[in-house]
C-alpha cells in the first residue's frame, strides 16, 4: 500500500484574530495568512460562510509593524465597563489599550457639500448644530479622561458653518488642550476672508485640517460630487497668506487618485503653511456610493508604496509604523526649509521609538540627525537647542527636538491612517486605536468602531445576540 505524502499549505499561517463577517458585521474568527507578498484574513461566519480578504500587500512591512509595538498609554478615566466584549463595550472601556492621542468632536451634521464618500453621512439637508453647552460638556469629558489632551479636532458635518464656530474655538482654547484642529472642506475658507482672519487669531496651537483629495476634476467629482479645484486653491492661498498651520487630508480611492500622491506632496510644498499631509485609504462606512470591495480598496501598504514610488522626497525607510498603533498608522517626519524636505524618521533609533518612557532624541546622541540639521539650515553646532519639540503633535513619538530658531513651520510630516472597516477589522488593532470620537452622550469611542457600530445603532442588535435575546 502506498501512503500519500503529506501536503504543505500554499500559505504561511501567521496567526489568528477576531475580525468581522463582511455580510452581518458579527465578530468572527479570522486566520492571518501570508501568500507571496500579500497578507489575507480568512474569516468564517456561521451564517455567511468563509470570506477571504487582502489586508496588506507587503508581508515584510506587516511583520515589521509588530516590532514597533510599545507599551500603551492609558487614559485617566473610562466611561463604560467591559461587559459584552470588544468591540461592543465602547467606550472607552477598561479593556482599551490606548488613550486618545487625537479626539474628534462633531459639532454639527449640517454640511455645504454632499460627498458621495462621507462616513458621517452629512449633507445640506441635515440641519443639526450642537449647542455650545453640549460641546463644552464634550470637551470637559475629554479633559477628564486625558488631563491635558494632545489634540482636539473639531469636525462635522462642516464645522465652519456652525453659527457659533468662533465661540466654539474660543471655548476650546480656554481648555487645557495642547493643539486644536479644525476639520474642513475649505469652502468657507476659500470664500470668506474675514473668517480666515478670525481663524488666524487662534494661532499658535491651532491648525486647519483641510480636505484635499486631488488636483484633478474627475477624481474630485468621484469623491466629492463637485469639481472643487478652484475652492481648494483659494482656500490654500488664503491660509498661506496668514500662515495658518494647515494639514492636507487626502482620501485615497484606488484608480481614482492613487496616481497623484507624489504630485499632491509636491503641490503642498508650494505653500509654507502646510505642515503635513494625511493620507487615508477609504474606510467602508457611512455613505460610500458604489463601493466595490474588489476594485476600490487601496491599503496602507499600497499608499506607502505609492508615496515612495511617486515622490522624490521619501524613501521606504522614511515611512515607519507609528509605535502606539503600528498596523493602522504609518508616519514620516521631515525637516523643511522652503520646498526642501529632509526626512528624519529613519534616523531615530528604534529603541527610542518604542521606549517605555519616551526618550528625548537629542542632537548630542544622534550624530546623523545633528549633521543633517546643521547642513540643512547652515547652522553652527553652537546654535543647537531643544526649545520646541515636534512630539507635541504626536504624543506617541519620542521627543525630537527642534532648534530654537526653527519652529513648527520647519516640520513636514506624512501620516497614513488606515481605519478599520468590515474588511480589515482586527480586534487587536482596534484596542490600540488612539483616534477617538467624543459623543454627545459623553462617551469616548474609537473612530473605527464608532463608524461601524455606534453611529448607526448596530451595536444594540449585536449586543442582543451576545445576550441570546431576540
Ligand atoms: S474598542 Fe476599546 S473601548 Fe471599544 S470595546 Fe474594544 S477595548 Fe473597549
Ligand atoms: S465628507 Fe465632509 S464635506 Fe463631504 S459631506 Fe461629509 S462632512 Fe461634508
Ligand atoms: Zn455573517
* 308: pLDDT strictly greater than 50: yes
Give residue 393's pLDDT band: very low, low, confident or very high (50, 70, 90).
Answer: very low
**93 CA from centroid of ligand 2 (Å):** 29
Query: Can you read off the three cell numbers belonging to residue 161?
Result: 458653518
Q: Which ligand 1 atom minimizes the distance to the CA of 96?
A: 7
How far apart CA 211 and CA 308 sit, in angstroms, is 22
Looking at residues 1-26, what average pLDDT do you find? 93
State the SS3 of the chain.
CCCCCCCCCCCEEEEEEEEECCCCCCEEEEEEEEECCEEEEEEEECCCEEEEEEEECCHHHHHHHHHCCCCCCCCCCCCCCCCCCCCCCCECCCCCCCCCCEEEEECECECCCCCCEECCCCECCCCCECCHHHHHHHHHHHHHHHCCCCEEEEECCCHHHCCCHHHHHHHHHCCCCCEEEEEECCHHHHHCHHHHHHHHCCCCCEEEEEECCCCCHHHHHHHHCCCCHHHHHHHHHHHHHCCCCEEEEEEECCCCCHHHHHHHHHHHCCCCCEEEEEEEECCCCCEECCCCHHHHCCCHHHHHHHHHHHCCCCCHHHCEECCCCCCCEEEEEEEEECCEEEECHHHCCHHHHCCCCCCECCCCCCHHHHHHHHHHHCCCHHHCCCCEEHHHCCCCCCECEECCCCCHHHEEEEEEECCCCCCCCCHHHHCCCCEEEECCCCCEEEHHHHHHHHCCCHHHHHHHHHHCCC
pLDDT of residue 344: 81
What residue segments make up the domains of the chain, in order of their start?
A: 12-70+421-467
Q: Which ligand 2 atom minimizes the distance to the CA of 121?
A: 6
- For residue 151, give Cα distances in angstroms to 102, 142, 446, 453: 5, 10, 15, 24
Counting ligand 1 atoms within 8 A of each CB, the residue from 81, 91, 426, 432 with the most, and so the one to mutate, is 91
pLDDT of residue 402: 47
Question: CB-hemisphere CA count at 13 Å for 236?
Answer: 20
Give residue 288's pLDDT band: very low, low, confident or very high (50, 70, 90).
Answer: confident
pLDDT of residue 121: 86
Give residue 286's pLDDT band: very low, low, confident or very high (50, 70, 90).
Answer: confident
**27 CA from centroid of ligand 3 (Å):** 8
**463 CA from centroid of ligand 3 (Å):** 15
Q: Which ligand 1 atom minimizes the distance to the CA of 90?
A: 4
pLDDT of residue 375: 59
How far apart CA 364 and CA 374 sit, in angstroms, is 12
Looking at residues 97-101, what average pLDDT do you find? 93
How far apart CA 89 and CA 93 sit, in angstroms, is 6
pLDDT of residue 380: 46
pLDDT digits (tens, 9 = 90+) for 375-390: 555 544 444 443 334 4
User: Which residue's entry shows cell 482586527?
Assistant: 426
Query: Can you read off the three cell numbers belonging to residue 330?
Result: 504609518
pLDDT of residue 381: 44
Looking at residues 295-324, what average pLDDT do you find? 92
CB-defined site of ligand 1, < 6 Å = 86-87, 89-93, 95-96, 430-431, 446, 449
Q: Give the ligand whose atoms come closest to the C-alpha of residue 434.
A: 1
In degrees and rounded to multiples of 5, residue 100 shows phi and psi of -90, 95
**64 CA from centroid of ligand 1 (Å):** 25
Residues of the chain with pLDDT > 90, as a percent, come to: 69
Q: Angle at which helices 165-173 and 132-146 pack, to 10 degrees?
A: 30
- Judge contact between 302 and 57, C-beta under 8 A: yes
Q: Give the ligand whose atoms come closest to the C-alpha of residue 46.
A: 3
Q: Which ligand 2 atom minimizes the distance to the CA of 287?
A: 6
* 81: pLDDT strictly greater than 70: yes
* 429: pLDDT strictly greater than 80: yes
Question: Nearest residue CA, atom 7 of ligand 2?
Answer: 157
Looking at residues 408-430, what average pLDDT do you find? 91
How far apart CA 330 and CA 349 sit, in angstroms, is 16
Q: Which ligand 1 atom minimizes the distance to the CA of 88?
A: 5
pLDDT of residue 120: 84
Q: Which ligand 1 atom minimizes the distance to the CA of 427?
A: 6
pLDDT of residue 403: 47
How far apart CA 106 and CA 101 sit, in angstroms, is 17
Q: Give the ligand whose atoms come closest to the C-alpha of residue 447.
A: 1
**461 CA from centroid of ligand 3 (Å):** 13
- Does residue 126 or residue 145 have the better pLDDT? 145
Counting ligand 1 atoms within 8 A of each CB, the residue from 78, 90, 445 with the most, and so the one to mutate, is 90
- Does residue 137 or residue 150 have the better pLDDT? 137
pLDDT of residue 320: 92
- Judge contact between 228 and 184, C-beta under 8 A: no
Question: Nearest residue CA, atom 4 of ligand 2?
Answer: 115
pLDDT digits (tens, 9 = 90+) for 399-418: 554 444 556 677 888 999 99
Counting ligand 1 atoms within 8 A of each CB, the residue from 430, 450, 453, 466 with the most, and so the one to mutate, is 430
Q: Give the ligand whose atoms come closest to the C-alpha of residue 21.
A: 3
Looking at residues 268-296, what average pLDDT do you find? 88
**115 CA from centroid of ligand 3 (Å):** 29
pTM assigned to the model? 0.91
pLDDT of residue 354: 66
pLDDT of residue 384: 41
- Does residue 69 or residue 182 have the better pLDDT? 182
Residues of the chain with pLDDT > 70, as a percent, come to: 87
* 133: pLDDT strictly greater than 90: yes
pLDDT of residue 335: 83
- Judge contact between 123 and 169, C-beta under 8 A: no
Amino acid at each position: 500500500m502506498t501512503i500519500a505524502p503529506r501536503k504543505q499549505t500554499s500559505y504561511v499561517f501567521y496567526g489568528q484574530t477576531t475580525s468581522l463577517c463582511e455580510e452581518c458585521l458579527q465578530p468572527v474568527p479570522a486566520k492571518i495568512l501570508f501568500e507571496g507578498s500579500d497578507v489575507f484574513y480568512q474569516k468564517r461566519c456561521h451564517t455567511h460562510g468563509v470570506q477571504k480578504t487582502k489586508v496588506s500587500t507587503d508581508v515584510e512591512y506587516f511583520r515589521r509593524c509588530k516590532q514597533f509595538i510599545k507599551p500603551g498609554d492609558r487614559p485617566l478615566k473610562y466611561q463604560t465597563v467591559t461587559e459584552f466584549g470588544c468591540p461592543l463595550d465602547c467606550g472607552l472601556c477598561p479593556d482599551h489599550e490606548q488613550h486618545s492621542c487625537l479626539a474628534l468632536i462633531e459639532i454639527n451634521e449640517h454640511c455645504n457639500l454632499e460627498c458621495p464618500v462621507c462616513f458621517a453621512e452629512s449633507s445640506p439637508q441635515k440641519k443639526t448644530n450642537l449647542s455650545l453647552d453640549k460641546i463644552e460638556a464634550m470637551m470637559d469629558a475629554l479633559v477628564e479622561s486625558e488631563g491635558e489632551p494632545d489634540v482636539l479636532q473639531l469636525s462635522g458635518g462642516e464645522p465652519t458653518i456652525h453659527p457659533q464656530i468662533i465661540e466654539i474655538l474660543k471655548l476650546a482654547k480656554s481648555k487645557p488642550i495642547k493643539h486644536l484642529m479644525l476639520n474642513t472642506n475649505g469652502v468657507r475658507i476659500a470664500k470668506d476672508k474675514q473668517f480666515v482672519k478670525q481663524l488666524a487669531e487662534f494661532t499658535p496651537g491651532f491648525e486647519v485640517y483641510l480636505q484635499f483629495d486631488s488636483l484633478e476634476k474627475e477624481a474630485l467629482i468621484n469623491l466629492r460630487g463637485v469639481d472643487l479645484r478652484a475652492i481648494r486653491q483659494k482656500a490654500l492661498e488664503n491660509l498661506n497668506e496668514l500662515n495658518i498651520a494647515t494639514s492636507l487630508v487626502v482620501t485615497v480611492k484606488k484608480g481614482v487618485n492613487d496616481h497623484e500622491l507624489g504630485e499632491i506632496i509636491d503641490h503642498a510644498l508650494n505653500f509654507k503653511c502646510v505642515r503635513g499631509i494625511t493620507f487615508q485609504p477609504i474606510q467602508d462606512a457611512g455613505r460610500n456610493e458604489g463601493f466595490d470591495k474588489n476594485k476600490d480598496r487601496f491599503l496602507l501598504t499600497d499608499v506607502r508604496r505609492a508615496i515612495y514610488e511617486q515622490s522624490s522626497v521619501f524613501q521606504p525607510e522614511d515611512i515607519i509604523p507609528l509605535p502606539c498603533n503600528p498596523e493602522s498608522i504609518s508616519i514620516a517626519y521631515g525637516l523643511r526649509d522652503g520646498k526642501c524636505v529632509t526626512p528624519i524618521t529613519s534616523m531615530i533609533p528604534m529603541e527610542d521609538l518604542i521606549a517605555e518612557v519616551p526618550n528625548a532624541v537629542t542632537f548630542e546622541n544622534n550624530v546623523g540627525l545633528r549633521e543633517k540639521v546643521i547642513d540643512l539650515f547652515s547652522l553652527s553646532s553652537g546654535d543647537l537647542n531643544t526649545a520646541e519639540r515636534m512630539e507635541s503633535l504626536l504624543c506617541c513619538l519620542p521627543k525630537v527636538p527642534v532648534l530654537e530658531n526653527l519652529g513648527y513651520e520647519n516640520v513636514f510630516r506624512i501620516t497614513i491612517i488606515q481605519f478599520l472597516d468590515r474588511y480589515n477589522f482586527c480586534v487587536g488593532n482596534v484596542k490600540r486605536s488612539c483616534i477617538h470620537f467624543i459623543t454627545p452622550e459623553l462617551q469616548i469611542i474609537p473612530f473605527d468602531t464608532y463608524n461601524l457600530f455606534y453611529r448607526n445603532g448596530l451595536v444594540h442588535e449585536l449586543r442582543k445576540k451576545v445576550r441570546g435575546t431576540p
